[in-house]
Structure 1
């Protein structure tokens, strides 16, 4: 890794770290990365689904005695925590590294989950949900940036989609155990919902052990004056991959000259995002807002819709959430490879557009009272097969189209803005619409979500980046490569 002198007088480093990471074959090392970092989404899906499915039960006088408005406010508290956590974590991740932050945010997240199990009223429950949100918001920035920088370019799209889509594996588990938690023959009314949070928190402790296998990003190290450590880390990764594959690694092709700094100022970062990469910023924001509004609209209200409009007993809500959650995971799992082969622009635009059109049709059928609880669930299953892949691709887009030095903060900013705009408003809106008792009023909210999806599709077709199979440095040159 030769060191030369830059024109500006600072030390420049010529590095082949990105090329060496991108030419690696899939191996046990990469699987450990995916499991160690991505399993957080499974646990998040588990407890978020439990909250949604337990919504009607938490309104009981034997539990927390929450109103529909209280449930909407709790969801908003969670969103506020997530937004704040993402912004703080995004800056810290780019400044101090990926590894430090994904340990800290996981610990905070688990503390929030366990405290939620001990809540005694609306205010305590809302505050503990905010702590949980702070942790999970931080995870999005640290984990997505680490995964993108460690996974080879030709696999990055499908892996990112599957990791973000794994939320729904946890959601399916949450939907499956909710009927048991609400079965008063097994647990008292005031005990079952607490166990739901406690189980997720205890299981999450195992992730801390898995994360010891995840190294710091060599790409981050080499741009932050730690070139020798980056070299040792890459050499260790290469040895692990060669040992597990039993094959000699192909030679790396290409190098990059960077001008490392210990930190990159916020002025430089935001000037890049709002100047040279302004159109990419618009794209990331629109995709994030659309997917956040859709998911917070539907999954905050799904248990209430089943209970209030279809008169499904609260202990049976989980049965309807289970197939919906599985459909959400199958979308990224089965369509993910196409994002690396057919291409980002076509697949992202197509999945947003198709899910938007299907949602428009479903909104009209729901408003007219044509759907029942089974056909409503089937309609959501079809919509979210495509919408889940679209939503996961929004996170993929935000994490790969900006320079390395801004990656975590970019993910954080657009996750935070998208969630603040789409995620905080939709629970309050749907709480009001459901409270009206009119199916047509609720369908207006769904139509709004569909229009946002169609706008996102049009934005992708105009500003989308053909990033499939490309190195992150080819998609957006590091700020440090510009001297």
Structure 2
């Protein structure tokens, strides 16, 4: 049955049953949103979200192995070199997000999340064969290109395939799954750095090589993920969209053994093969200007915090607490677990208590806790253990806040701009906060002054508090709502 002929509930206001020439009346978004949770949705989450696990694995390995890479028997990098390499990775992610964000909105989600995964895996594998600062920096830039593209393609695909009532918690848990990989990386680092098991110049390379090999499994999982029907119907492929949704509905009915209810709404769209950048940016900077300010503020705050802490965490432990390099992973492990537990345990509240309250609250709490920790660190009142406990408390809330920044950017703009919106705000936020933070903190650590480093943390805390205020003022109550009701499609 085509979307034009489907019998719909007459009690719900609908578009005229005879759309004008060139228009398509469709109930596809509402058919997707009324689906119960099923095995299909689990496969979507695994196929798309597992990239973050691998990213967490190798990013944590880089952070944990930082002191080891300063050895003359490895790459002989300085603290500022390590900060610069982190910046190369972030710059690559910025470029990848912008380029692939535009391609994702123009050519579809499915094509891009295959291409970006291949680029990412190539960058990880090449990193295992780096021989000096510049080779390592370039290979990390390639890795960043892939992961930046993944953020745009994967987040937009997940939002468009997951039912509205689950969207908030799923987005948070998927983005938070980065920390499952980080926990594995923390456990792997002491083993890779054990001189009784591996030579100094071999162990760190294995960390990247193993990640690249494991990543190939994602290619197999992604064959279960279809193209977004929402994207198809707005890009002159309404027949493909109808076929895809019918297949999804059949799989869900088979998995749940339940009869699906009839959808109760429809909308009329005017499909186009492409939507020009002028139209897209006019929407983001015109009608949705306040939403753009919101998304950008959240992205800058979380990016500065995470890139300042996690690319230099190993250096802090080694330089200020004299933790042996082979034991740094043991301190990263509880931190990674705390980061994952935040989105896991708080995620459902973003769909029930509401977006505005939870986003503003998690940003504010993490900012206050970070400021207090910065004062204690500068005063020399912390040990390696108490410092780690403080980080766990901070990032339990900060991880949920950071994941909610990606959720916000991906759901508050029209469908036709979704991937590019994610890309733009990720890119600008990361460029402003992420590409600067590692280099700045590398320089602050080299100064040897705890108060200099503490001042950097205070700046990060201030950004978090500002983000909380902006969310409270401009936040969108998007919980449980279809994407089309949060922001009208440009084609509607």
Taking structure 2 as the reference length, the TM-score comes to 0.97
Equivalences for residues 98-177 of structure 1 within 5 A: 98-177=109-188
* Contact preservation (8 Å) 2:19, 2:25: no
Q: Given the alignment of the two structures, is residue 267 of structure 1 paired with residue 278 of structure 2, yes or no?
A: yes
2:51 aligned residue (31, 37, 40): 40
Deviations 1:145-171 (A, max 9, x none): 000000000000000000000000000
Equivalences for residues 427-446 of structure 1 within 5 A: 427-446=438-457
Equivalences for residues 348-387 of structure 1 within 5 A: 348-387=359-398
* Contact preservation (8 Å) 1:223, 1:259: yes
Matching residue of 1:424: 435
Q: Secondary structure at the match of 2:258?
A: coil
Runs (5+) with no aligned partner, structure 1: none
2:458 aligned residue (438, 441, 447): 447
Q: Secondary structure at the match of 1:257?
A: strand
* Contact preservation (8 Å) 2:19, 2:268: no
Matching residue of 1:198: 209
Aligned-pair distance for 1:251? Answer: 1.3
2:243 aligned residue (232, 237, 240): 232
Write the distance in 2 (CA, Å) between the matches of 1:246 and 1:117: 47
Q: Given the alignment of the two structures, is residue 258 of structure 1 paired with residue 269 of structure 2, yes or no?
A: yes
Matching residue of 1:305: 316
Q: Secondary structure at the match of 2:436?
A: helix
Q: Given the alignment of the two structures, is residue 245 of structure 1 paired with residue 247 of structure 2, yes or no?
A: no
Write the distance in 2 (CA, Å) between the matches of 1:468 and 1:98: 24
Write the distance in 2 (CA, Å) between the matches of 1:231 and 1:344: 31
Deviations 1:35-94 (A, max 9, x none): 000000000000000000000000000100001111011011101100000000000000
Matching residue of 1:2: 4
Q: Given the alignment of the two structures, is residue 209 of structure 1 paired with residue 220 of structure 2, yes or no?
A: yes
Write the distance in 1 (CA, Å) between the matches of 2:425 and 2:309: 21
* Contact preservation (8 Å) 1:13, 1:257: yes
* Contact preservation (8 Å) 1:86, 1:413: yes
Write the distance in 2 (CA, Å) between the matches of 1:144 and 1:164: 9
Aligned-pair distance for 1:2? Answer: 2.8
Matching residue of 2:8: none
Matching residue of 2:481: 470
* Contact preservation (8 Å) 1:283, 1:463: yes
* Contact preservation (8 Å) 1:5, 1:12: no
Q: Given the alignment of the two structures, is residue 181 of structure 1 paired with residue 192 of structure 2, yes or no?
A: yes
Deviations 1:325-367 (A, max 9, x none): 0000000000000000000000000000000000000000000
Q: Given the alignment of the two structures, is residue 403 of structure 1 paired with residue 405 of structure 2, yes or no?
A: no
Write the distance in 2 (CA, Å) between the matches of 1:234 and 1:420: 38
2:36 aligned residue (14, 17, 25): 25
Q: Secondary structure at the match of 1:479?
A: coil
Write the distance in 1 (CA, Å) between the matches of 2:34 and 2:339: 31
Q: Secondary structure at the match of 2:73?
A: coil
Aligned-pair distance for 1:6? Answer: 6.2
Write the distance in 2 (CA, Å) between the matches of 1:463 and 1:105: 33
Q: Given the alignment of the two structures, is residue 324 of structure 1 paired with residue 367 of structure 2, yes or no?
A: no
Write the distance in 1 (CA, Å) between the matches of 2:442 and 2:51: 28
Q: Secondary structure at the match of 2:23?
A: strand
Matching residue of 1:479: 490
Write the distance in 1 (CA, Å) between the matches of 2:215 and 2:457: 34
Write the distance in 2 (CA, Å) between the matches of 1:120 and 1:245: 53
Q: Secondary structure at the match of 1:480?
A: coil
Write the distance in 2 (CA, Å) between the matches of 1:293 and 1:146: 26
Write the distance in 1 (CA, Å) between the matches of 2:356 and 2:295: 13
* Contact preservation (8 Å) 1:11, 1:260: yes
Write the distance in 2 (CA, Å) between the matches of 1:19 and 1:427: 44
1:66 aligned residue (73, 77, 85): 77
* Contact preservation (8 Å) 1:5, 1:11: no
Report the number of matched residues.
479
Q: Secondary structure at the match of 2:76?
A: coil
Aligned-pair distance for 1:5? Answer: 7.6
Matching residue of 2:289: 278
Matching residue of 1:333: 344
Q: Secondary structure at the match of 1:14?
A: strand
Write the distance in 2 (CA, Å) between the matches of 1:258 and 1:236: 22
Aligned-pair distance for 1:182? Answer: 0.2
Write the distance in 2 (CA, Å) between the matches of 1:64 and 1:206: 30
Write the distance in 2 (CA, Å) between the matches of 1:285 and 1:6: 37
* Contact preservation (8 Å) 2:151, 2:422: yes
Taking structure 1 as the reference length, the TM-score comes to 0.98
Deviations 1:383-432 (A, max 9, x none): 00000000000000000000000000000000000000000110111011
Write the distance in 1 (CA, Å) between the matches of 2:423 and 2:308: 21
